[in-house]
Structure formats: C-alpha cells, structure tokens
Amino acid sequence: MGRRKRKVIRVVKKRLPKVYTCPNCGYVAVRVVVKKGKVTVSCGRCGEKKEYEFEKGLDPIDYYNRFVDDVSKGA
C-alpha cells in the first residue's frame, strides 16, 4: 500500500508591469527608461515624452504616475 500524493500548491507572486497605458492615446505603449541620472517616460505610439531627474527610492511606477499627472494637467 502506498501513500497519496500531496497536491503541489504554487504561489504566484504579482510583479509590476514593464509597459503601461498611455493617458494620451489609451494604448499600452508607455515605457520607463532609467539612464545616467535621468528617467525618460515615453509612449511608443503617440510620441508623448517627459524627462525627470532620477531620485533615489522611487520606482518606475512612481515616474509613470508623475507622467500621467503631467499629461492630464497639460504641463
């Protein structure tokens, strides 16, 4: 006689997305690129682009949120 096999439970960890939705055109085409102290947030479809200074402790999602705020108020 043998034992029953135990069911393997896999834990799926959620991750932040790499590509975001553009507030201007509505497509999922916004990328956040960090290079040499500058952060560039740009849409690959409509061409909307903003640059920010790199701040320690902020994630790409934080820069995307700033981008959405700037685009929505027209800055």
**pLDDT tens digits in sequence order for the chain, 75 residues long:** 678 888 999 999 999 889 999 998 999 999 999 998 899 999 999 999 999 999 999 999 999 999 999 999 876
Backbone angles phi, psi at 53, to 5 degrees: -75, 145
The answer to whether residues 60 and 66 touch, using CB atoms and an 8 Å cutoff, is: no
Domains and CATH numbers, the chain: 19-73 (2.20.25.190)
Q: Would you state the structure tokens that stand for residue 30, as one six-digit string? A: 């916004």
* pTM across the whole model: 0.78
